[in-house]
Structure 1
Amino acid sequence: MGIIDKTLPSIILIFSALLAIFSLLLPVYAFIPNLIERSIHLGLAIPIIFLAGKQTQRRWRFCLNLLLALSGVFLCIYIIVDFEGVLNQFGIVKNRFQTLMGLAMVLIVLESARRTIKPVLPAITLLFLLYALYGHRIPGYFGHVKYDLSQVMGMLYLTTGGLWGQLTGISANIIAIFVFFGAFIGATGGGTGFTKIALRLAGRLKGGPGKMATVSSALFGTISGSASANVVVDGAFTIPLMKKLGFRPPFAAAVEAVASTGGQIMPPIMGAGAFIMAELTQTPYLKIALAATLPAIIYFFTVWMGIHFFAMRDGLRGLEAEEIPSWPETLRASSFFFLPLAVLIFLLLRHYTPQYAAFWAALSALPLAFFTLDWKFDRTFLTKIKGAVLEGASQVAMIASICVCAQIIIAILSLTGLGVKISTFIIDFSGGALLLTLILTMVTCVVLGMEVPTTAAYIMAAVVAGPVLIKLGIHPVAAHLFIFYFAILSAITPPVCGAVFIASGIAQTDWMQTARYSLRLSYAAFLLPFVFIYDHSLLLIQGSIFDTFLCLIRTTMAMTLLSAGFIGQFRRELNLSGRLIVLALGTLWIVNHWLWDLLGLLGTILIVRDRKWIYKN
Structure 2
Amino acid sequence: MGNENQVPVIENEKDVLEKYDKESRSRSYRLKPVSLIVSGIAISLSVYHLYTSYFGTLVTLQHRSLHVAVVLALIFLIYPAFKNLDRTKLHWYDVAFALLAITTTIYIYIDYDGIVNRGGIPNDWDLFFGAILVVLILEAARRVAGWALPTLGILFLIYGLYGNHLSGIFRHRGYNWEDIVNFMYVTTEGIYGTAIGVSSTYIFLFILFGAFLAKSGMGQFFNDLAMAIAGQTKGGPAKVSVIASGFLGSINGAAVANVVTTGSFTIPLMKKIGYKKNFAGAVEASASVGGQILPPIMGAAAFIMAETLGVPYREIALAALLPALLFYLGVIVQIHLRATKEGLKGISKDNLPKIMDVMKERGHLMIPLLFLMYMLFFSGRTIIYSAFLTIIVTVGIAMIRKTTRMTFKDIIEALENGARTALTVAIACASVGLIVGIATLTGFGLKLANAIVTLGGESLLLTLMFTMVACIVLGMGLPSIPTYIITATMAAPALVQLGIEPLVAHLFVFYFGIFANITPPVALASFAAAGISGGDQMKTGFISMKLAIAGFIVPYLFVYNDSLLLINTTFLEGVLVVITSIVGVGMLGIAAEGYYLTKVNPVIRIILFGGALLLMNPNWLQDVFALVIILFVVFVQWRKAKKEGGFNLPLKGFMEAS
Q: TM-score range by the shorter chain?
A: over 0.9
Partner of 1:280: 308
Partner of 1:87: 116
> How far has the Cα of 1:468 moved from its partner?
2.2
> How far has the Cα of 1:325 moved from its partner?
0.9
> How far has the Cα of 1:539 moved from its partner?
1.4
CA contact (8 A) 1:343 1:360 kept: no
CA distance in 2 between counterparts of 1:373 and 1:502 reads 35
CA distance in 2 between counterparts of 1:525 and 1:608 reads 25
Mapped pair 1:462 → 2:488: yes
Mapped pair 1:228 → 2:267: no
CA distance in 2 between counterparts of 1:2 and 1:244 reads 35
> How far has the Cα of 1:369 moved from its partner?
5.5
Alpha-carbon spacing, 1:301–1:2, altered in 2? closer, same or farther (3 Å): closer
> How far has the Cα of 1:244 moved from its partner?
2.1
RMSD: 2.3
Mapped pair 1:506 → 2:568: no
Partner of 2:438: 412
Secondary structure in 2 aligned to 1:162?
A: coil
Secondary structure in 2 aligned to 1:479?
A: helix
1:595 to 609, 621, 625: 621
Which amino acid in the other structure matches residue 580 of structure 2? R
Partner of 1:211: 239
CA distance in 2 between counterparts of 1:422 and 1:517 reads 32
Partner of 1:351: 380
CA distance in 2 between counterparts of 1:597 and 1:540 reads 18
Deviates more, 1:419-428 or 1:252-261: 419-428
Partner of 2:4: none
CA distance in 2 between counterparts of 1:304 and 1:556 reads 12
Alpha-carbon spacing, 1:57–1:565, altered in 2? closer, same or farther (3 Å): closer
Partner of 2:611: 585
CA distance in 2 between counterparts of 1:57 and 1:448 reads 33
Map 1:148-547 → 2, pairs under 5 A: 148-335=176-363, 337-348=365-376, 349-367=378-396, 374=403, 381-547=407-573
CA deviations on 1:391-412 (whole Å, 9 max, x unpaired) are 2112211111111111111111
TM-score when scaled to structure 2? Answer: 0.89
> How far has the Cα of 1:72 moved from its partner?
0.6
Taking only the aligned residue pairs, the percentage that are identical comes to 36
Mapped pair 1:65 → 2:91: no
- Listed as ranges, the gaps of 5+ residues in structure 1 are none
CA contact (8 A) 2:425 2:479 kept: no
CA distance in 1 between counterparts of 2:447 and 2:80 reads 43
> How far has the Cα of 1:438 moved from its partner?
1.0
Alpha-carbon spacing, 1:332–1:52, altered in 2? closer, same or farther (3 Å): farther
CA contact (8 A) 1:369 1:384 kept: no
Partner of 1:146: 174
Partner of 1:568: 594
CA distance in 2 between counterparts of 1:146 and 1:327 reads 64
CA distance in 2 between counterparts of 1:459 and 1:31 reads 23
> How far has the Cα of 1:144 moved from its partner?
1.9
Deviates more, 1:417-426 or 1:588-597: 588-597
Alpha-carbon spacing, 1:137–1:360, altered in 2? closer, same or farther (3 Å): same
Alpha-carbon spacing, 1:501–1:352, altered in 2? closer, same or farther (3 Å): same
CA deviations on 1:378-428 (whole Å, 9 max, x unpaired) are 7xx344334322321122111111111111111111211222222222222
Alpha-carbon spacing, 1:418–1:204, altered in 2? closer, same or farther (3 Å): same
CA contact (8 A) 2:80 2:87 kept: no
Secondary structure in 2 aligned to 1:205?
A: coil
Partner of 2:581: 555
1:76 to 105, 117, 121: 105
CA contact (8 A) 2:511 2:551 kept: no
Alpha-carbon spacing, 1:163–1:471, altered in 2? closer, same or farther (3 Å): same
CA contact (8 A) 1:577 1:614 kept: no
CA contact (8 A) 1:537 1:544 kept: no
Partner of 1:12: 38
CA contact (8 A) 2:323 2:551 kept: no
> How far has the Cα of 1:91 moved from its partner?
2.5
Secondary structure in 2 aligned to 1:80?
A: helix
Secondary structure in 2 aligned to 1:551?
A: helix
CA distance in 2 between counterparts of 1:502 and 1:569 reads 28
Alpha-carbon spacing, 1:520–1:429, altered in 2? closer, same or farther (3 Å): closer
CA distance in 2 between counterparts of 1:11 and 1:308 reads 51
> How far has the Cα of 1:319 moved from its partner?
1.4
> How far has the Cα of 1:61 moved from its partner?
7.5
> How far has the Cα of 1:598 moved from its partner?
1.4
> How far has the Cα of 1:536 moved from its partner?
1.3
TM-score when scaled to structure 1? Answer: 0.94
CA distance in 1 between counterparts of 2:621 and 2:413 reads 58
Secondary structure in 1 aligned to 2:120?
A: coil
Map 1:43-54 → 2, pairs under 5 A: 43-54=69-80
CA deviations on 1:209-233 (whole Å, 9 max, x unpaired) are 1111111122223422221232122
2:147 to 119, 127, 130: 119
Which amino acid in the other structure matches residue 332 of structure 1? K
Secondary structure in 2 aligned to 1:159?
A: coil
CA deviations on 1:109-158 (whole Å, 9 max, x unpaired) are 11111111121111111111111111222234322223221221111111
CA contact (8 A) 1:457 1:487 kept: yes
CA contact (8 A) 1:40 1:80 kept: no
Which amino acid in the other structure matches residue 501 of structure 2? H
Which amino acid in the other structure matches residue 339 of structure 2? A
> How far has the Cα of 1:282 moved from its partner?
0.7
CA contact (8 A) 2:292 2:298 kept: yes
CA contact (8 A) 1:240 1:507 kept: yes
> How far has the Cα of 1:540 moved from its partner?
2.3
CA contact (8 A) 2:79 2:144 kept: no
